[in-house]
Amino acid sequence: MNMQRWFEMFYGPISPVAFDKNEWFTIAIFFLSVGAAIYLLKKHPIMKKSEIIFVILFNVYFSSLGEYVLAVKPTDLYDTIDRNCGELFDIPLQVIVYPTTIYILLHIFVMFKLRKLNFILLGSMALTLMEWVSEHYFSMYKYKGWAIYYSYLFYIFTLAINMYSLGWFNKQSNAGMVQLKEKH
């Protein structure tokens, strides 16, 4: 099998149906979210690197699990971008954009010392608004059995579990630091 045939077999099923506004939007939000995260990291370094890594890795897993449970058969409540089975541009969304957006929100929470409930409710509104813009203007999602208000409830759960997980992570890492200090 020649290299071109192998490439077509691999790339064909995951390539965009058409390179249009949703792919351009994915590229734009990729750079916007990464740029905002780098800015916060450089200008307002209030979260530990271990916390940032934890938040990013946790949300890569969480977003992938969420997509698998909600967007794949038998549930199949929505499609992202052009295909119902995933495509190349789903990868930067799940691996970079979704986790980085949660990191940015958590960074804002820590930086401004917001009240947990207010943060969860307002952050969920912001995420729902971003999803609505993505769906309405850029055709990022095609809802089948999903509705935008489900997203608000999902984001409440997402931010709550992130805050709980980050608190748990900090307790574990602080307990580990205490044990290390006691041994030396």
**Distance (Å, rounded) from C-alpha 144 to C-alpha 94?**
20
Q: What tens digit of pLDDT does each residue of 62-107 get?
A: 999 998 899 888 999 999 887 777 788 888 999 999 999 999 999 9
**Distance (Å, rounded) from C-alpha 36 to C-alpha 28?**
12
CB 47 within 8 A of CB 169: no
**Distance (Å, rounded) from C-alpha 59 to C-alpha 30?**
15
Helix (H) or strand (E) holding 13: none
Type of residue at 173: S
CB 156 within 8 A of CB 124: yes
Question: Is the peptide bond between 74 and the residue preceding it cis, with omega within 30 degrees of 0?
Answer: yes
**Distance (Å, rounded) from C-alpha 161 to C-alpha 158?**
5
Measured CA angle at 53 (ends 50, 57), to 5 deg = 140
Say whether 83 sits in a helix, a strand or coil: strand
pLDDT of residue 11: 78
DSSP summary character for residue 95: I
Q: Using the predicted structure, report yes or no on whether residue 180 has a pLDDT greater than 70.
A: no
pTM for the structure as a whole: 0.88
**Distance (Å, rounded) from C-alpha 52 to C-alpha 62?**
15
Contacts of 46-52 spanning 24+ positions with Cβ under 8 A:
46/107, 46/110, 46/111, 47/106, 47/107, 47/110, 50/169, 50/173, 51/166, 51/169, 51/170, 52/103
Q: What tens digit of pLDDT does each residue of 97-156 get?
A: 999 999 999 999 999 999 999 999 999 999 999 999 999 999 999 999 999 999 999 999
pLDDT of residue 183: 58
Ranges 6-10, 22-26, 31-35, 82-86: which has the least confidence: 82-86
**Distance (Å, rounded) from C-alpha 130 to C-alpha 100?**
14
Mean local confidence (pLDDT), 20-48: 96
Mean local confidence (pLDDT), 32-54: 95
